[in-house]
Structure 1
Amino acid sequence: MVTHWIVPTAVRSSTVSVRSATPTIVVSKTTAMTPTIRIRPVRRTFGSIVASSWAVMADQAIRRRRRGPELERALLDAAWDELVAAGYAALTMEAVAARAKTGVAVLYRRWANKDELVRAAIEHQGRTRPVGAPDTGNLRGDLLALIESANAGRAGFAAVVGAALNGLMADTGLTPAQLRVQLLGDRPLWSDEVYRRAHQRGELDLDRVPPDVLALPFDLVRHDLLMTMEPLPPERITAIVDDIFLPLVRGTG
């Protein structure tokens, strides 16, 4: 059998076209003993080849250059995005690895299973997106501003975390309170600076007000966010501060 390979090329003005050969075996009706191979050209433009090559090179560069903290941030961001998109039950280590453009072994070297990864992703989101402590000059104004800021920026966060809680508790055996301690870690609370300044101004006696009272406004906000999965209305925030918290503080001050 004689094989003829013909690869045509074409150059037209400033556009270069490349044709790749696709062999086709043709058997003659008169003699089945002498098959011939013809070439079916498939046209690919030079631009498409370059674009495909750059895409491969960019993906390889992403895999090569990320190391240490940068890689871990990328993995945790990918885990959070997958948690938002798929939910805890449907999240898989393979899906997170694909979203992060890395291998699944990279995840398992850092987190033993899905619940460890999800807890780390939630903790990472809370740590890297803090709510600043306002300074309006008085305790009431600071609390209203702080709760309004947290309410606007954390409603979506609370909804995602709340939806993941059942799965996390089932997989880890931890209670909501234990999960909260793990997710918060030892970082300071947003309200610490607000209460410290109020104490210095004489509006609040931190030696006499119980910690449960200081935590109450934020416990109520968290409760409402988890129960409704929606931001609190302004009147609810005002009621928490004016009708519940401040009377308690004044009664113990």
Structure 2
Amino acid sequence: MTADQRSGAGTGARPAKATRRRGAALERAILQATAEELVETGYSNLTMDRVAARAGTSKNVIYRRWPSRAALSVAAYRQMLPTDPEDTPDTGDLRSDALALLNRANDRLSSPVGKVLRQLLSGMQDDPERRREIREEVAPAGVAPWLTILSRAIARGEIDVAALAPRVATVALNLLRNEYSISGATAVPPTVLVEIVDQVFLPLVRAGR
């Protein structure tokens, strides 16, 4: 029996009414229950017993699909992400676009989903494979809109094409993430977002002009 399987005895998770679900319906119920547990109690307190009780199933059923609570949590986190891509800001001005993107990222990072993300990354220090899976979920959505606003700014003649590089594009986003992961912030004020854009991002992307 694994440590995951031994954990959670005597938990107080809300039991769900047992139903005869199979396949995709059962998996959705388990992932939904896991997501709710992650939001309410956090990854460090997540147990298979609590998830099973909330989903109205058994631990054995869960373990047949996910080998550990880490694997289950990553799968549940994927279900918490928005399925429809958000429109990239297009104000006609790079500074305004950057602030709009950074405010959107700040809203997400300070939300329950953002809190779950930080807990997973922190709680999976000894599971590099799962951390990689999470980062692969997050990274593309973070890079693409920033490259888009830079491409538009290049077309308008605001900045030089040399600025169109992923590391340059995401410097503002990474600084914001550091406020949460390193500084331990639970919310970042708008003044800090302005400082990131005006003091770091814009001088960097305009450096080649």
**If the TM-score is normalised by the length of the shorter chain, which range does it land in?**
0.7 to 0.9
2:191 to 208, 218, 235: 235
Structure possessing the higher radius of gyration over alpha carbons: 1
After TM superposition, the structure 1 = structure 2 runs for residues 15-164 of structure 1, keeping only pairs within 5 Å, are 59=17, 63-64=19-20, 67-68=23-24, 70-128=25-83, 131-156=86-111, 157-164=113-120
Alignment counterpart, residue 174 of structure 2, candidates 177, 195, 219: 219
2:138 aligns with: 184
Distance 1:110 1:129, change over 3 A: farther
Contact 1:82 1:96 survives alignment (8 Å):
yes
Q: Measure, in 2, the Cα distance between the counterparts of 1:118 and 1:175.
A: 9
Change (3 A) 1:101 1:203: farther
Code of the residue aligned with 2:194 in structure 1: it is T
For 2:53, give the aligned amino acid.
A
Q: 1:202 to 1:104 in 2, by over 3 A?
A: farther
Identical counterparts, % of pairs = 37
Structure with larger RCO (C-alpha < 8 A, sep 6+): 2
Task: Name the residue aligned to 1:26.
Answer: none
Structure 1 residue 124, shift from structure 2 partner = 2.8
**Comparing both structures, which one devotes a greater share of its residues to helix?**
2
Q: CA deviation at 1:243?
A: 1.1
Aligned to 1:251, the other structure's residue is in SS state: coil
* 1:173 Cα deviation from its structure 2 partner: 4.3
Q: Counterparts of 1:167 and 1:91 in 2: how far apart (Å)?
A: 11
1:246 maps to 2:202: yes
Count of matched residue positions in the alignment of Structure 1 and Structure 2: 191
TM-score w.r.t. the length of structure 1 is 0.63
How far is 1:175 from its partner? Answer: 9.4
For the 8 Å contact 2:44–2:123, the answer to whether it is kept is yes
Instruction: Determine which structure has the larger strand proportion and give its number.
Output: 1
Determine the C-alpha separation between the residues in 2 that align with 1:139 and 1:66: 50
State whether residues 78 and 99 of structure 1, in contact with CA within 8 Å, keep that contact through their aligned partners in structure 2.
Answer: yes
| Partner Cα separation in structure 1 for residue 64 and residue 147 of structure 2 | 36
For the 8 Å contact 1:131–1:150, the answer to whether it is kept is no
Superposition deviation, residue 197 in structure 1: 2.8
Gap change, CA 1:192 and 1:180, over 3 Å in 2: farther
In 2: Cα distance, 1:201 partner to 1:224 partner: 32
One-letter code aligned to 2:77: I
TM-superposed deviation, 1:99: 1.6
Shift of 1:241: 0.7
Letter aligned with residue 213 of structure 1: V
TM-score (norm 2): 0.75
TM-superposed deviation, 1:141: 0.8
